[in-house]
Amino acid sequence: MILFSKKNKSEIRNPKSAIEMIRHPISHIVLLFLFFLPAAGQRIAVLTPEKNDASGRFAEKLAASLAAKFRVLDAALGEAAFAAVAPETPFNLTTEEARSLGAAIGGDGFLLVRAAIQPRNSFEKKEYFEAYAVVCAVSTRTGRLVFWKLASFNADRRDAAEKLLLEAVPALAGELAEKLPAVFKRETVENKPVLDEIPDPDSPAAKNFRTPLPYRRISPPYTATANLYRVAATVDIEVDFDETGRVTRTEIVRWAGFGLDEAVEETVRRMNWRPAVRDGRPLPVRVLLRYNFKKLE
């Protein structure tokens, strides 16, 4: 676990309208048409940061399945916007990076898709093929990973495994259509409390200041899913403490999926913490914790 001030990290920087009704019968038809646009007109993009045939076919079918519920951005436009931003780790973004990418793309959110077909073997079965796809749904407003899904299918032949994967796309699109509109709507009314943050060690505010510390450190587990897919990632979590050291709010501000975000959040909440102290008096504070994960050989 690494604890640091947001001010010190380059990756996480502290970054009346009216509608006039036209009195004409056709205007009512237009308004009704707009009212019934899919998912209240919510707009998303489907992106494939890693270019391969499996990802392309999966993303194309997913976009077509989502078109009944969302306004899906043209694939070429979405990819052009993505290329302009060119994040180094598209599946391990900070929320600030994700917001910047979302601003370039436009809309309410975007999906990052990665699919592959690979040979596998096990004790029970000498050799088979796994077709899998990872889908990350990201909010443009907050940069959060609001939905993560791993779909995986096995078969004796490569084409059979991919066929099973593509047949699962409509169900996945239905799950996204059910969950995303509510998430996007909820984010518009969220209020984040204002708290002090850890001062820069060289600043006058750091004098006589003690950061929150756990009585006993616990490391979040490297999940079995992350291990299977050999994931190397960083998870940053923003944690609010009250004056007693109780955790009052957490938010993942650099996400990774594969169960690692949930592992970090659960671990932070399991630990008992000593409160932050300034001039001998405990105080509420917001800190940023970092956890690095990689497959152990």
40-44, 45-49, 131-135, 264-268: which range is least confident on average?
A: 40-44
Average pLDDT taken over every residue of the chain: 88
Kindly state the average pLDDT of the residues 187-203: 87
pLDDT beyond 90 at 123:
no
CA pair distance 40, 34, nearest whole angstrom: 8
191 vs 150, more confident: 150
For the entire predicted model, the pTM comes to 0.85
Burial 12-26 (b: 16+ CB within 10 A, else e): beeeeeeeeeeeeee
Residues of the chain with pLDDT > 70: what percent?
A: 87
Kindly state the average pLDDT of the residues 227-241: 97
SS3 state at 294: coil
CA pair distance 170, 43, nearest whole angstrom: 18
CA pair distance 4, 287, nearest whole angstrom: 7
| Segment (H or E) for 187 | helix 169-187
Kindly state the average pLDDT of the residues 237-254: 97
- Least Cα distance to 59 among 76, 42, 37 occurs for 76
- pLDDT for 4 equals 66
Residue ranges of E strands in 108-165: 109-120, 128-139, 145-155
CA pair distance 183, 139, nearest whole angstrom: 9
pLDDT beyond 70 at 38:
no
- pLDDT for 5 equals 61
Kindly state the average pLDDT of the residues 28-33: 36
User: Residue 192 gets which letter from DSSP?
Assistant: P
Q: Residue 169 CA to chain centroid, in angstroms?
A: 20
| Segment (H or E) for 144 | none
Kindly state the average pLDDT of the residues 151-163: 97
193 vs 11, more confident: 193
Contacting residues for 126 by C-beta, under 8 A, at least 6 apart: none
Kindly state the average pLDDT of the residues 7-20: 37
124-128, 217-221, 233-237: which range is least confident on average?
A: 124-128
Contact 76, 124 (CB under 8 A): no
* DSSP string covering 8-74: G-TTS-------PPP-SHHHHHHHHHHHTSGGGG-EEEEE-SS--HHHHHHHHHHHHHHTTTSEEPP
Half-sphere exposure of 118 (CA within 13 A, CB side): 11
- pLDDT for 39 equals 42
**Structural domains of the chain in order of their starting residue, each with its CATH number:** 40-187 (3.40.50.10610), 204-293 (3.30.2420.10)
Kindly state the average pLDDT of the residues 126-142: 95
User: Residue 278 gets which letter from DSSP?
Assistant: E
